Amino acid sequence: MRVAFVSLFTPGYGMTPARKRTWQFARGLTERGHEVVWLCSRWWGGEHDTFEEDGIAYRSVVVDPAPTTFAAKLPAAIRRVAPDVVHAVNSPPTCGLGATVAGTLTRTPVLVDWWRDHPNDAHGRYGPLARSADLLTAPSRTTKTRVREHGASGEAVRLLPGSIDMDLAREAPVDDRFDVIYSRRLDRHANVETFLLALAELRGRDWRAAVIGDGPEREVTEATAADLRIADRVHFLGDLPLEERVSILKGTHVAVGTATWETFPMELLWALACGCVGLVEYQADSSAHELVEGRRRGRLVTSPSELADEIVAVAELERRSVDEAFASYDHGAVMNRQIDAYRSLLNDG
């Protein structure tokens, strides 16, 4: 199968969660022997129009990342590539609309992967994009709801979550230094304060806690721990390589998610797959609750006090170092779902 990825920006402009997701899909296809061409703006040096890396053939549609010009040139670019299916992204929406127009002109089915509504986008163009794509994918039910609000039918949106390496979750060594953990980038959405307030309510109990991650809010977060007089019991570990994070998660009993915004909670997914009990504070702009709803080893809370109570309550649950219930989130399993989506488009055509 030949797939044309349409995304104005690539990881060559800097890795973001959305770009990493697209890159992982592209790499997964090449590893299975499919041909991938990524139509983008030129992010590499030199005057040549093509660049190949990790089995992906990048082709510059424009030199500078101008969405309108990029969209206007897409029909000719897609015609030259002659793909079986086009995989576009929702942001910027002008580029996604260009892909759907090109798909109509070239009679090529177009899938649009919708990561999130970007605050810098022209949101008025989201509606036409949601309605014109042949199929849409979204990482969570929360995002799927928003895509439907833009006008897509429910049947046109498939869930395609983030993915992990279950073999790593199974085989990594166990580091059992901690009982409860928070793992995420420490930015303005992290809301680690709820986690720390809950721990402060449990000063009289025996626990060992850690915060994995770095970011602009780390200094403030460490100061909060000091103000709550628990700084000596909460270890701020900073950024750690994935293998080290997985080992710590495998040895930890409880993982907490309190972020106010989370398109897809990758760190929480890793924690749950590594056997942690998941405690999530419900937030309207986060999909984290979706990973724990209805699970015996998962609870939803709405306040630091409730979080503290649940940390105590789940102590009775057995400790695990892996949870096979999350094998459906393995890279291979999610890639199968992605390929099934492409094939459904080709069969419908």
Over residues 96-121, the pLDDT tens digits come to 999 999 999 999 999 999 999 999 88
Partners of residue 195 on adjacent β-strands: none
- Which residues of the chain are under the pLDDT cut of 70? 349
pLDDT at position 46: 82
Domain 166-327 has CATH 3.40.50.2000: yes
Using an 8 Å Cβ cutoff, are 326 and 269 in contact? Answer: yes
CA distance 343 to 76: 24
Kindly list the domain boundaries of the chain, sorted by start residue.
2-163+330-348, 166-327
pLDDT at position 230: 98
Through-space distance between the first and last CA atoms of the chain, rounded to whole angstroms: 15
| DSSP codes, 264-278 | S-HHHHHHHHTTPEE
CA distance 258 to 301: 9
pLDDT at position 50: 92
pLDDT digits (tens, 9 = 90+) for 233-279: 999 999 999 999 999 999 999 999 999 999 999 999 999 999 999 99
- Topology alike, domains 2-163+330-348 and 166-327: yes
Residue count of the chain, please give it. 349
pTM: 0.95
pLDDT at position 319: 96
pLDDT at position 72: 97
CA distance 72 to 77: 10
pLDDT at position 349: 64
Encoded tokens for 173? 């060594």
Domain 2-163+330-348 has CATH 1.10.10.60: no
CA distance 185 to 208: 20
Encoded tokens for 125? 């163009």
pLDDT at position 70: 97
Using an 8 Å Cβ cutoff, are 10 and 1 in contact? Answer: no
